[in-house]
């Protein structure tokens, strides 16, 4: 049974760095083809893909956000971590992590999401 | 980046109606097109992958079609549980992009 769960602060102040953790079970990121992505959704708005890390440690970032994002994995802990620097109120959103298998496939399992509010 | 454009942005329909949502890519993406359903407060749910393949557990009234730049999601007979927002997403590029969503509301 594949599950993913996001964790991190619910409230972040402007200019701070956000660190989110995706803890998963039911698959291993050391298995060939496995990938984990981060996707966010501002309240009432559309989904926005942020970043992806693959089983071989290849990493991909949104063009518009790549200077602010870092994705990493801890295979032994079954975790993927996303950091986003210089947070702004427009970054207020629900942040999801999701699994995909192999290149060019889609996200078949998602976490429940975690709402992050950026405010002073 | 590949842009994904959905239409309409919203629609009103009745139970039993046939509903069609379209998605257009800014360049050819072959059949690397996926459809998601999202209900309020919930994570998106994968319905269709590779343009026309039904994800396990998804009712057969959902059908996807298309290739290249133009794609369609059809719900053959709308059910009460289908009122939700639908998103297309391309996985042709390693940099995924989503459409802006289509909200299906009750008429």
Token digits of residue B73: 């999601």
3-state SS assignment for residue A89: helix
Query: Locate tokens 């619910």: which residue?
Result: A10
Across A102-111, average pLDDT: 89
pLDDT score recorded for residue B107 = 87
Alpha-carbon separation of residue B4 from A96, A108, B29, B90, B99 (angstroms): 20, 20, 10, 8, 5
Is a pLDDT exceeding 80 seen at residue A74? yes
pLDDT score recorded for residue A103 = 74
Please indicate whether, in this complex, the C-beta atoms of A46 and B87 are within 8 angstroms of each other: yes
pLDDT score recorded for residue B14 = 95
Nearest chain B CA: its distance from A67 CA (Å): 15
Look at A99-113, B23-37, B55-69, B81-95 and tell me which has the smallest mean pLDDT: A99-113
CA distance A78 to A111: 14
Q: Tell me the chain A residues in contact with residue B98 when contact means C-beta distances shorter than 8 Å.
A: 46-49
What percent of chain B is predicted at pLDDT more than 90?
A: 98
Q: Maximum Cα–Cα distance for chain A, whole Å?
A: 43
């Amino acid at each position: 049974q594949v599950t993913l769960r996001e964790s991190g602060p619910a409230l972040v102040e402007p200019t701070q760095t956000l660190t989110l953790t995706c803890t998963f079970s039911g698959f291993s990121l050391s298995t060939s083809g496995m990938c984990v992505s981060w996707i966010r959704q501002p309240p009432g708005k559309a989904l926005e893909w942020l970043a992806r890390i693959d089983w071989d440690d290849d990493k991909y970032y949104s063009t518009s956000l790549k200077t602010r994002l870092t994705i990493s994995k801890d295979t032994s802990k079954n975790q993927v971590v996303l950091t986003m620097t210089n947070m702004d109120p427009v970054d207020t959103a629900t942040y999801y992590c999701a699994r995909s298998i192999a290149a060019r496939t889609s996200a078949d399992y998602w976490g429940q999401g975690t709402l992050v509010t950026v405010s002073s | 980046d590949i842009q994904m454009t959905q239409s309409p942005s919203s629609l009103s329909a009745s139970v039993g109606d046939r509903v069609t949502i379209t998605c257009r890519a800014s360049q050819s993406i072959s059949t690397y097109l996926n459809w998601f359903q999202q209900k309020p407060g919930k994570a998106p749910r994968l319905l269709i992958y590779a343009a026309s393949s039904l994800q396990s557990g998804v009712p057969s009234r959902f059908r996807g079609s298309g290739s290249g730049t133009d794609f369609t999601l059809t719900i053959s007979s709308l059910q009460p549980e289908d009122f939700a927002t639908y998103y297309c997403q391309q996985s042709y590029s390693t940099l995924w992009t989503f459409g802006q969503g289509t909200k299906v509301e009750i008429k």
